[in-house]
Amino acid sequence: MKPIMIRPGVYWAGVNDRESELFEGLWTIQDCGVSLNSYLIMDEKKVLIDLSSELLTEPYVNMIKSIAPLNEIDYVVLNHLEPDHTGALLYLREANPNITYLGTKKAAEIIGNFYEIKDHFRIVEDGEELKIGKFTLKFAAVPFVHWPETMVTYLVEEKILFPCDAFGGYGALPGVVFDDQCPDLPKFEAETLRYYANIVAAYSGNTRKAIEKLAGIPIEIVAPSHGLIWRKNPERIIELYRQWVDYAEKKREKAVTVVYGTMYGNTAEFAESVQQAVADTGLTVEMFNVRKADIGVILGSVWKNQGVIVCAPTYEGSLFPEMVSFLHMMKVKKVVTRTTAYFGSFGWGSMAKKQFETFAAEQRWDVVENYQFHGKPKQADFDLLPDFAEKFAAAVRAAE
Ligand SMILES: Cc1cc2nc3c(=O)[nH]c(=O)nc-3n(C[C@H](O)[C@H](O)[C@H](O)COP(=O)(O)O)c2cc1C
Ligand SMILES: [Fe+2]
Ligand SMILES: [Fe+2]
């Protein structure tokens, strides 16, 4: 893509990453890609806000050069030091050693560790303003809206917020950058929720604080470093993020995710019946094979849904390994207070039920059923399901 003017003197100058299969080496972006948005402000001082990954340095730098020669850049604002936004930094520094980097005190520390940069870094304080000509930049620290050093930058005169990872989403930009031009906004919003669940969810408390901190600021455009730029409806993306922050505690969708694993099909067969029984109560049920589905896709479903049903057999005395890994991810991402149940097949002796009970207690998941069956599920096992489903659906509907 070519640079796109957002407001006179303010350019989107980002790149699409359609090559990487995984984001952060973990989350699938194979089908949707991701954009790394950078912004160039052309004023008396020329300022870049966030950069690109190392992989995309060449197209990124060409993009910048098409607006201004690199030796004319005065400042690079580093809202966040994760390599998806700083990978091009060393190239830029070599091309123009006079650039001054702006970031929080914590960023000054981290940039030393990651890039061995100690000079030409200027710490900006929370609330500090920097006049760059006719424009003024204002910085606000938002620690742990992904990493400890994170801040957001606000272009005062144009009321543009550059929040880096916050308000961002997956999805390569479809030849256009603005929300009002997006040919499939529902799809982008779905990918944005998945991004939230994968990247931001664990920091929901800090994200809530950040949203509250920014609440008094008039915002006409939200220009994050991943995904669409929201100019028609900036309140929309802030509202979506507010809703997803809330999911950390309550107000989730009255819907259910079934996650199952299986070696020989016994648990899979039962999981199918569990899904059907719960669907018969009128709740929407999304079902995933834990070994086949991408963990980030499952997480996106679990983040929004109140009900989570785990179906997995016993393997070497313990819960099926991929399910252990999934439950571990639930801990890492602070997925708490769900309505839950466990079902699984076993052969001769198993710790799976106990393991699940311990996990559920730690995560404050409300266990409606914790049930194992021997080998192939029998009619007596299936007969339990209608009652279970009624109880489960009632608990999901009653949850805060
Ligand atoms: C590699 C392997 C290890 C197993 N380890 C145990 C075990 O330690 N304890 C147990 O009760 N059953 C164990 N089983 C039996 C399975 O839990 C049982 O076959 C179950 O029906 C598998 O469910 P599935 O068809 O959903 O894979 C094991 C089975 C396999 C294939
Ligand atoms: Fe990040
Ligand atoms: Fe990022």
Do 219 and 257 belong together in one domain? no
Q: Quick check: 281 and 235 in contact, CB under 8 A?
A: no
Ligand 1 site, residue 343, Cβ cutoff 6 A: no
- pLDDT tens for residues 164-175? 999 999 999 999
My answer on whether 273 and 323 are in the same domain is yes
Q: What is the pairing mode between strands 305-311 and 253-260?
A: parallel
Q: Nearest-CA neighbor of 153 among 99, 217, 199, 197? A: 217
Based on the fold, state whether residues 131 and 210 are members of the same structural domain: yes
* Strand pairing class (221-222; 160-162): parallel
Atom of ligand 1 nearest to the CA of 317: 8
User: Tokens representing 322?
Assistant: 């991929």
Query: Which of 262, 291, 315 to probe ligand 1 with, by most ligand atoms within 8 A of CB?
Result: 315
Q: Are residues 263 and 143 in the same domain?
A: no
Per-residue pLDDT, 81: 97
pTM: 0.95
d(C-alpha 85, C-alpha 65), whole Å: 18
Whether residues 158 and 24 fall in one domain: yes
Q: Return the pLDDT at 354.
A: 98
Q: Are residues 234 and 157 both part of a single domain?
A: yes
∠291-296-299 over CA atoms, to 5°? 95
- The stretches in the chain having pLDDT less than 50 are none
User: Of 334, 298, 302, which Cα lies nearest the Cα of 202?
Assistant: 334
Please state, in angstroms and rounded to a whole number, the distance separating the CA atoms of residues 163 and 9: 19
Q: Examine the domain organization and report whether 330 and 349 are in the same domain.
A: yes
**Ligand 1 pocket residue status of 267, Cβ below 6 Å:** yes
CATH number for 101: 3.60.15.10
Q: In this predicted structure, what is the pLDDT of residue 374?
A: 97
A 10 A CB-CB count for 301 gives: 22
* pLDDT for the residue 303: 98
Residues 204 and 266 occupy one common structural domain: no
pLDDT at 351: 98
**The tokens 């957002």 sit on which residue?**
6
One domain, residues 193 and 273: no
Which residue bears the tokens 């004023």?
43
Domain count, the chain: 2
CA of 61 from ligand 3 middle (Å) equals 18
Say whether both 317 and 354 belong to one domain: yes
What is the rounded distance in angstroms from the CA atom of residue 287 to the CA atom of residue 271? Answer: 9
Which positions ≥6 away from 60 have C-beta within 8 Å? 13, 14, 15, 36, 38, 51, 52, 88
Structure tokens at 300: 């996106």
Indicate if 306 and 219 belong to the same structural domain.
no
pLDDT of residue 226: 98
- Is the CB–ligand 1 distance for residue 265 below 6 Å? yes
Q: Which domain holds residue 219?
A: 4-246
SS3 labels along the chain = CCCEEEECCEEECCEEECCCCEECCCEECCCCCEEECCEEEECCCEEEECCCCCCCHHHHHHHHHCCCCHHHCCEEECCCCCHHHHCCHHHHHHHCCCCEEEECHHHHHHHHHHHCCCCCEEECCCCCEEECCCCEEEEEECCCCCCCCCEEEEECCCCEEECCCCCCCCCCCCCCCEHHHCCCHHHHHHHHHHHHHHHHHHHHHHHHHHHHHHCCCCCCEECCCCCCEECCCHHHHHHHHHHHHHCCCCCCEEEEEEEECCCCCHHHHHHHHHHHHHHCCCCCEEEEECCCCCHHHHHHHHHHEEEEEEECCEECCEECHHHHHHHHHHHHCCCCCCEEEEEEEECCCCCHHHHHHHHHHHHCCEEEEEEEEECCCCHHHHHCHHHHHHHHHHHHHHCC
CATH assignment at residue 273: 3.40.50.360
Q: If you measure from the C-alpha of residue 48 to the centroid of ligand 2, how many angstroms do you get, rounded to a whole number?
A: 17
Predicted local distance difference test score (pLDDT) of residue 102? 98
CA distance 323 to 338: 17
Span from the CA of 374 to the centroid of ligand 3 (angstroms): 46
**Does residue 320 line the site of ligand 1, with CB under 6 A?**
no
CA of residue 169 to ligand 2 center, whole Å: 11
Q: How far apart are the C-alpha atoms of 315 and 312, rounded to whole Å?
A: 9
Among candidate residues 214, 246, 278, the one where a domain is terminated:
246
